[in-house]
Each structure stands twice: as structure tokens, then as C-alpha cells.
Structure 1
Amino acid sequence: MRHSIATVCLSGSLEEKMDAAAEAGFDGVEIFEPDLVVSELSPEEIRARADRLGLTLDLYQPFRDFEGVEESVLVDNLRRAEERFRVMNRLGMDTMLVCSNVATATVDSDEVSAAQLRRLGELAASYGVRVAFEALAWGTFVSDYRRAWRIVELADHPAVGTCLDSFHILSRGHDPSAIEQIPGEKIFFVQLADAPRLSMDVLSWSRHHRLFPGEGSFDLVGFVGHLVRAGYTGPLSLEVFNDVFRQTDTLRTARHARRSLTWLEDQAARERGDVSQLTAIAEVQPPAGIDYVEVKAEDTSAVETLLGQLGLTFRGQHRTKPVRLWSAGDVRIVLNEQHARDQAPSVAGIGLQVADAAASATRAAALGVRPVPRRTQEGEQVLTGFAAPSGLEVFVNDHDADAEPRWVEEFEHGGAPAAAPFTGVDHVNLVHTWSEHDEAVLFWTSLLGLQAPPQTEVASPQGLVRSQVMRSSDGAIRLPMNVAPATTATYPEHIALSCTDIVAVASAARARGLRFLRIPDNYYDDLRARFGLAEDHIEELRSHDLLYDRDAGGEFLHFYTPLVGRVFLEVVQRDDGYDGYGAANAPVRLAAQRRHQS
């Protein structure tokens, strides 16, 4: 199928939006009328620009408040429409979106609305134009796509069809299966948008909170399946109103948008098992585990001290780069001082183990994900890398459960791997800006097939933190993503290591000189009240500055190291199927870190 995007999705001028859409790989654009009105280019110049860029101009939109009106109002509406048709002829466009009336409708009659649309169709046909009637979710009388289609049927004119918008259909909870009862040739256009589930009026929800496919809660894969079964062969087009996208870089958003359509079409093709109309790309390779986590800084010595105090082993210096490796069991932490002038310690990269790294690279290329090379010399392993929206470098490596990764052999003059109480990297907590978050969700879901459970909110001394965990279905990969408060320039990230005996780890770390975050006595009084823990258990937790949580599955114990630069470490012990992250303890940790730094 062809792919289009409404210019309302993007920031900038009409010219910039068209350039970005073409660069991102779209086939066409919808012209949002306000973008045309403020442009200095004439319709003829816009048409010529589209030709040069290889773009089609697919839809002129929106034409508002037409049907369900008295005759005197209709006459003026037809006058307005004719002016638009003249402009469309100059643009070389042949389809106009007509939204159901929300302001001037006074006649609640399908027959009247159909007769008026028929008159509009006659006028449109005289200009070689078609009109696509759309039911707005907040339309005065017509708010259901099924009613809009009945009116189009009654109009019975070749120049009158319908436009289906996923937001208007799915936000109202309407069953999209009836799409299959509409002849494909009468579906003149399709607009797609995802959205989170929110409890608010549908107009505000639509105007401010739409998302690109794969980022919200709507079943757009099923929606596209209904379109294909109906015989629709026109463009899949994005119409996303969102306060973030209207402020972010135009080209970056266009690429983000194009990736969402590639993902959606791939998912729909796989669900149908039919790629005659839909294009599938290389199959997703879900990560089986975390290969390594990279911390980068001009000076990583303070991080090395923490790792040694926790019981990790120094495995050596890379033979060609200023990079060192520390490990314990399946935990591998890479410390990188390369090209890091004036940089404080932060999480800079993550390695993931997959079944087929080459297939992941092919899928990434199809999704338009920016590759990141690993500079290698002779004899060094070549790893496939991609840039996440935050700049995090993600490398994938073919998984071998029975051996250490081959790249470990590139580190020299270190100690042999020793038995350790750590079982692996439990999770890596990442930070994004508010403008990167939705794009990051799509990156992890579309490229690596991670799931995105609902968001949570955590109060911190700096403000409210929005958090969403990206995870594999089996929990082998857990990547909590935090949106930092706008009031703070930097917000910490951390690496959580899992173990089977956290008391032993904490005791040994304290003996090696680790300075624990001091957890206040009030916290343990609160634990006693909330969970009814035995007094000796409370005292054990208090003596090691351990935090505690419990859910229906089991128990969770954890502690944190002090913050070094923008990164700290966490040690966790999950018992009896506990599946959370101790979110209730996050404010305690944040306050303790703040005291520790003051």
C-alpha cells in the first residue's frame, strides 16, 4: 500500500513538512488547509514542489460544517466548497475531506444530509474532484462511521465516498468490523492514529493526545485487516494531532511517523498471513538476555570502585581502546573512556542477545533506524548497532547460552571470571525527555518486539516522574523508561543486578567499604505498618539499609549505591514470582540520594 501523512502531524512551514515527508520515504501528503493558507507558495508552486519531491497530494482537508443545514446555509456552503475545488484544481488534487457537521447542523435527517452531499458531489464532479465524508467522533448528529456510510449510500453519487479515521471510530468504542460491509471503492481515504486510553472528553483527547501507530492502546492491526478485507487499495495515511510533534524536529518526526506505518503494515501482514497488499519486513528477533551495559565517562574510576565493592571482577583492558570490562556471572559492565571529554558517568549503551543479529539489522534498515558502527580492528567481533531516540547505542549479538560472548576475548590482563552471587542484569533504567518518549516506545516495540505495559507516575523531590517499562514477554529484558521532570536538567539512570542472597551481597559490599544510601527509620516504621513484618525481619532490613516490597506473587528486596555522575547501581532479589520494581520505594531512594549529595 502507499503511505501518506497529513501536514498537521509535523512542525514547520508547509515547504519544510513536504521536504521532510519526502526524505522520510512517504509517497504522498494530505494538505492541511491552515498550512496552505499561511504559505507564501502559490498552489501551482506547491504542486510543482510535490512533483520535484516525488510526492502526490492525496487529500485536501478539512472542509467543515456542510451537511444537515437549512437551504440558505447550504447555498453558502456550496459557494465555500466551489472556492476550495478551484484551489484543488490548481494544486492538482482530486479528493477533499468533508467532516460531519459540529457547528451549524440543525436537521437530523439522513435523507436531508444525503441529498445535500449529492448536490456537493455534483459540484465536485464538475471540477474533477471527489468528496470523502467522515464522521467526527463529536459530530452533532453524525458521529458514527456506520451512519456516515448510510448517508453516502443514500447520496448514491460516484463522486461521494467515505473517509475512515481510526481515532473517530476506536475512541468511541465503535466496532470496526462493519468496515468490511463497505465496498472498497467507496472508501475514498483512510486516516490512522493511535492513542492512549484516557478518561476525558473526546475532542480534547483527539486534539492533544493522538499518537503514531504502535504507541497507544488502539488495535490498529485489526483495523487495517478490516480495510484489506473490504478491498480498500488507497493510501494508509497518518493524521496525528499531538502537542509534542508540533514542537519537535520536522524530519525526525517524519521518520518516526514513517517507521510507525512500516511497523503497522508488517504486523497486519503477519496477522493476515497475506502479503499481496501489505508488505512484511524481516521478522522481529526478541532479545533473550542482556549481553552487557556500557557506562561512559571521561573518568570511570569511581564506577570501578563501586563495581569492585559489589563483588564484580575486573576482566581486563580492551586491547585497542580505552575500555575496561567488569563481570560477575552473566553480568558484564563495560566502562568506556573513549571520546568522553568532560562527560560524567552515564549509561551510554546496551548489548542484547538475539537469535539472529543479521535479521535484526535487516529489520532495522526497513524501519529506518539509524545504524551505529562498532569500530573494529582485525580479529575483533563485528556487532550490529542502532541508535535509540535518546542517543543510547544498542548492539545485538547472536545468543549462545553455553558460552561467554566472543568479544570478551578482546579484553586482556584482567582476572579470571569468579563465582559470584549475581545471576544477571535484572533491568536497566533509562531516561528520556518528554519529546523522546513516544518515539522510544515505538523504537523498542517495532525493532525488538518488546511490550509496553501502562505508564506509572512516581513523585520525586524534583517533581513528578512518568515511568513506563519496556520488557520482553518472559521478563528477560526489562527497561524502565523515565520521563524526567521538566524542572531538572539531568535525571539519574541505573543498572540493577539480580542476586539470590541480597543480605550476603550487602554484608560483603559493606565490608569492602561501600557507602550505602542511608534509609531513614521512618521508612521501616512504615514497612511494619503496611506489611506486618516480624520485628527481626525489620531489623535485618534496617541493619543493611535494604528496601522491601511485596505483591500477590512474592517479595522484593533491594538496595542502591550512591550516585556517581548520572548513574548508580541497584542490587535486587526477586522471590516467588515478584514482577514489579519496588515503585513505592522510589521516593525514598530519591530523597536518600539527594541527602547523600548535599
Structure 2
Amino acid sequence: MTYKLAIASHSLGRASVHDLANKLDQAVQYGYEGVEIFFEDLEMIAKSYPGGFTPDNQLRAASYIKELCEKRSLTVIALQPFLFYEGLMDEEQHRLKIEKLHIWFQLVKILGTDIIQIPSNFSFDEPFSGDKAKIVQDLMEVADLGLKETPVVRFAYEGMAWSPYVSSWEDVWEIVELVNRPNFGCVLDTFHIAAKVWADPSSPKGKRVNAEEELAASLAQMEKKIDVSKVYYIQVADAEFMDPPIGDSHPWVVAPNHPPRMTWSRNGRLFAFEEGGYLPVLEISKSLVHGLGYKGWISLELFSRSIAEVGREVPEKHAKRGRDSWNKLAKSLELNQ
């Protein structure tokens, strides 16, 4: 495999608004080969069965999704996101997460993938620690459990740019090295890399002071440090320039404790090369593909207010937008597809 194009299921429309079968139909129509299954899609299907959101209905939903994907020759590349796990202070909450994980092990086997994606913790509801030893210990635990599965389950750790403790690729890579398990790697996302080191949606200029210099230095270090075999897949997205900048009175803000980068991410992402985007997506993508030498799945992940729009045509619009974006990206990167 050189490069294969995937799309996250939520990039095609919100689960509570848009039917998964229609979203997958549009993915096939516009030439995607794989899909990241967003747990919300599975959850909505499970809740539609008699008895509601039970473990058995989750497994039934996974079987249904697998059938949908097989009929369309779509590969499920990952199930995500396994949220708010590492560093939890409450032992009972930790236990419940591990209990949930054992269900996810069954889900990924049914879906035909071996990857569970874990975003770095940013919970507003459950207290969690930034102690690195605690974070590593918790992630070692899931990796070791995954090693006992047949086939082995891999974990793709991703830094959220607004997470209080693990927010940059540097943070993620340090954790990956400390966990030191053959089934524990990472996801690298152009949006989160740019949002952390280059962009600032709360600034009138939209970016940090010395943004270009800091990004160049960060990417140079990334190319030297990261073992590309630990990059399980990459995600590509741009985002809107915020005018006005995101502050407490911005209409997208739903809670005062939500970081601007999170508010921005949930509402204002774009596919690469779309009008209104301004992040250095091409520069970061070049570093990932040519600098690191990454080959494999490239997934388009979009969170935006547009995915909540009503209408069966919405998934098709997003699938087409993503495909147009990919064509421009592949040409710019001179990818041998």
C-alpha cells in the first residue's frame, strides 16, 4: 500500500441527523477506500434497536456497519474516539473505562479493524491527572490488554491541541516512547499540529507570534524524532480564519471553560484548500509524507457546524468537498496513488 484515501464517518454528516448508509454511499461515489467509524454512528444505530444502548445491541450495530461497509468495499481503518481515559483520578471511573474497552475489543473485531483511537484527555466532568507516570501507566494498561487479544488490537494516541497535558506531537511522541509497546502508536493530524504550534483563533491575526519560525522548527524535529512505523494513520484538515476572534462572547461558545481551540475545532474546520482556510496544511503534509516518509491511510476528518445541516444532500456535498480537496492535495504532494 502506498497511499489510500479514507474519510471519518462524522465528516460526512452528524449521526443524529444523517443516515450512515447514505454517508457510506457518498463515500463510495466519490472514491474513498476506507472510513474511520465514529462511535456516535454506532451508538445511534444501537439505540434504535429494542432495548436501547446495551452491549449486545452495540455488537449488533457493529455487525450492521460491517455489512454496510463490505457491500460497498469500504475498509474500516479505525474506531474512534475512546474518550477521557488516561489520568483519571477516580478508580471506579477508571474501572468502568476498562470495562468499556473490553466491549470495544469485540466491536473492532466485528468491524474488521485492529485500531482504537484514543484522544488525549480533556474531560470537563471527571478529574484527571497530568502526572506523566500516571498517564503512561494507564496507557500501558490498555496496550497490554490489546496485546492479549487475537488479533492484537493497536492503539492510536492523538494529541488534542487544547488538552491541558498532552497537546502537541512532541507530548504524544514522548508518551509513545515511554509506553514502549509494539501495539501503541499515534495519529498525526494537520489540524492539531497547526492549531498547537502555529494558529491562535483567539487572536485578531489568527496565529501565534513567530508562528512560521516555530512551525518550521517543530516540523524539522518531528522528521528527526518520530519513527514512522508508529504512525498508524494521518488525518488532514484545515480551518476557517476567525473574524471576529473566538472570545467569551463569540456565538460558537457554549461554555465559558471551553478553550478557544476546541470551540474552533468543533465548528470551523474545513477540508484542505477550501476557501476561507488558512492553516499551513500543505507544509505540514509535506513534512509528514516526504519528510517522515509516511505511506498508508490518509483520512479526511472534519468537525464543522455544516455537518449538522439537515438534508440527504449534505453527506454528498461533504464527500465531494473532501474528494476535491484530496485531488488538490495529492497533486501538490505529487503522490503516487
Q: Does 1:218 align with 2:279?
A: yes
How much does 1:22 deviate?
0.9
Whole-angstrom CA distance in 2 between matches of 1:18 and 1:134: 25
Alignment root-mean-square deviation, CA:
1.8
Q: Does 1:49 align with 2:73?
A: no
How much does 1:71 deviate?
6.8
Deviations 1:140-185 (A, max 9, x none): 3111221011011100001110111221211122535033121111
Equivalent position of 1:74 in the other structure: 94
Structure 1 residues 262 and 279: alpha-carbon distance in aligned structure 2, compared to 1, 3 A threshold = farther
Q: For 1:2-81, list aligned pairs within 5 A.
A: 2-11=4-13, 12-39=18-45, 42-70=61-89, 72=91, 73-81=93-101
Equivalent position SS for 1:38:
helix
Contact 1:9/1:246 (<8 A) preserved = no
How much does 1:105 deviate?
4.9
How much does 1:107 deviate?
2.2
Equivalent position SS for 1:158:
coil
Whole-angstrom CA distance in 2 between matches of 1:71 and 1:118: 18
Contact 1:50/1:56 (<8 A) preserved = yes
Equivalent position of 1:114 in the other structure: 136
Q: Does 1:246 align with 2:290?
A: no
How much does 1:55 deviate?
0.6
How much does 1:48 deviate?
2.3
Contact 1:185/1:231 (<8 A) preserved = no
Greater strand content: 1
Contact 1:111/1:154 (<8 A) preserved = no
Q: Which runs of 5 or more structure 2 residues have no equivalent in the other structure? A: 49-59, 199-214, 247-259
Equivalent position SS for 1:236:
strand
How high is the TM-score relative to the length of structure 2? 0.76
Equivalent position SS for 2:239:
coil
Equivalent position SS for 2:270:
coil
Q: Which runs of 5 or more structure 1 residues have no equivalent in the other structure? A: 270-277, 281-598
Whole-angstrom CA distance in 2 between matches of 1:165 and 1:109: 24
Whole-angstrom CA distance in 2 between matches of 1:14 and 1:133: 25
How high is the TM-score relative to the length of structure 1? 0.44
Greater RCO (CA < 8 Å, at least 6 residues apart): 2
Equivalent position SS for 2:81:
strand
Structure with max Cα Rg: 1
Whole-angstrom CA distance in 2 between matches of 1:28 and 1:257: 13
Q: For 1:449-468, list aligned pairs within 5 A.
A: none
How much does 1:126 deviate?
2.3
Equivalent position SS for 2:197:
coil
Equivalent position SS for 2:306:
coil
Q: For 1:31-180, list aligned pairs within 5 A.
A: 31-39=37-45, 42-70=61-89, 72=91, 73-103=93-123, 104-127=126-149, 128-173=152-197, 175=215, 176-177=218-219, 178-180=221-223
Greater helix content: 2
Percentage identity across paired residues of the two chains = 29
Whole-angstrom CA distance in 1 between matches of 2:266 and 2:90: 31
Equivalent position of 2:235 in the other structure: 191
How much does 1:111 deviate?
2.4
Whole-angstrom CA distance in 2 between matches of 1:82 and 1:37: 16
Whole-angstrom CA distance in 1 between matches of 2:302 and 2:230: 23
Equivalent position SS for 1:260:
helix
Equivalent position of 1:235 in the other structure: 297
The residue type paired with residue 15 of structure 1 is A
Contact 1:6/1:238 (<8 A) preserved = yes
Equivalent position SS for 2:94:
helix
Whole-angstrom CA distance in 2 between matches of 1:14 and 1:123: 30
Equivalent position SS for 1:169:
helix
